[in-house]
Amino acid sequence: MKAAMGDRLIVEGGSDHESRKIGVITEVRHEDGTPPYLVRWADDDHESLVFPGPDAHVVSERSSDG
């Protein structure tokens, strides 16, 4: 998994009782874009350091045109 500042991190809920979490990556700790990431969560606006698991994926905010 690789990300950049401004990308979204989406963590899928593990069951019907857990909702999807969406956050914006505010800091990438490694130059190559690998985890961990500092993420500001949309649901309550707090920040946490995240080591994403297999239930997470990154949605890039970078434009695909050159």
Read off the pLDDT of residues 34-57 as tens digits, 9 standing for 90 and up. Answer: 999 999 999 999 999 999 999 999
Radius of gyration of the chain (CA): 12
- If DSSP codes are grouped into helix, strand and coil, which group holds residue 52? coil
C-alpha to C-alpha distance for 49 and 36, rounded to whole angstroms: 7
Does residue 41 fall inside a structural domain?
A: yes
Edge-to-edge strand list for the sheet holding 47-50: 47-50, 37-41, 21-28, 8-11, 56-59
Does residue 65 fall inside a structural domain?
A: no
Does residue 52 fall inside a structural domain?
A: yes
Does residue 2 fall inside a structural domain?
A: no
Q: Domain of residue 34: give its range.
A: 8-59
Mean pLDDT of all residues in 13-26: 87
Query: Is a pLDDT exceeding 60 seen at residue 66?
Result: no
C-alpha to C-alpha distance for 65 and 55, rounded to whole angstroms: 28
Based on the structure, what is the number of domains in the chain?
1
